[in-house]
Amino acid sequence: MSEPDTEPVYRAACTPALSTGVTKVPGSSKAPASRRKLSSTMPVAPHLKRALAPVAVTTSSALRPPQRPGGTASAESLQAVSATTAATACSDSADAVPPGRWGGRNAELVVTASGASARFKCGATGVVEESLRIEAGSFDEPGTFVTPVLNAGVQPARYMGSVSGSDMTLALSVSGQAAGTFQLHLGADPAFDVCNF
């Protein structure tokens, strides 16, 4: 008599054994028949074969590091990929001027997250409507300047400078002309000279 055809046997890796709740008979060297039927060598139904079939995982060529002739990525290529990723993440970053009151002789700059306001000698004031951002070691933002001495109304200005710890160098230009350079300190009160106009 020829043996009947049987389906191929599949074993799933890391699959815990099934428990049937059937107690082994004392003195018996064989597991109960009901447990033998649930052995991991039991034929698998066709629809489960497809579910257990290996799946090919592909990696985008844009993210895959260059391969050596032997098929392995070199340490240099992996470092290059890491450096490129870090540079992309940091390309748009810029430090903000610390918020607070910066004071010095004849000038005060109050910095907020959205801009700054300024005071100068003889009652002059100024406004910066953009946040002060430090790029390449310095900031340079447009603003306005008003002084009651000249009766010139609101004039265009630029607020430029650099920050080192809690010290700031602020340069002011009004209508394209240099109007002064001031040394400020974070948290200090301004000291204005007597206005001679």
For 96-126, the pLDDT digits (tens) are: 999 999 999 999 999 999 999 999 999 999 9
Cα distance between residue 77 and residue 185, in whole Å: 46
* Contact status, residue 10 vs residue 49, Cβ threshold 8 Å: yes
The band of 19, judged by pLDDT with boundaries at 50, 70 and 90, is: very low
pTM, whole model, 2 decimals? 0.54
B/e letters for 69-101, b = 16+ CB within 10 Å, e = fewer, are: eeeeeeeeeeeeeeeeeeeeeeeeeeeebeeee
- The answer to whether position 11 is within a domain reads no
Tokens at 45, concatenated = 């139904």
Percent of the chain at pLDDT > 90 equals 48
Tell me if 157 sits within 8 A of 174, measured CB to CB: yes
Tell whether 114 is covered by a domain. Answer: yes
Q: Is residue 115 part of a domain?
A: yes
Write out pLDDT tens, residues 148-177. Answer: 988 889 999 999 999 999 999 999 999 999
Number of domains in the chain: 1
What is the amino acid identity at position 88?
A: T
**Shortest CA distance to 12 belongs to which of 57, 49, 47?**
49
Q: In this predicted model, which residue has the larger pLDDT, 68 or 25?
A: 68
Is the residue at 35 inside a domain?
no
Residue 181 structural domain: 95-186
pLDDT digits (tens, 9 = 90+) for 87-96: 444 434 579 9
At residue 8, does pLDDT exceed 70? Answer: no
Q: How many Å from the N-terminal Cα to the C-terminal Cα in the chain?
A: 123
How far is Cα 144 from Cα 127, in angstroms, rounded to an integer?
5
33 domain residue, yes or no: no
Q: Does a structural domain hold residue 49?
A: no
State the pairing for strand pair 139-146/100-104.
unpaired
Residue (of 169, 174, 170) closest to 146 by Cα position: 174
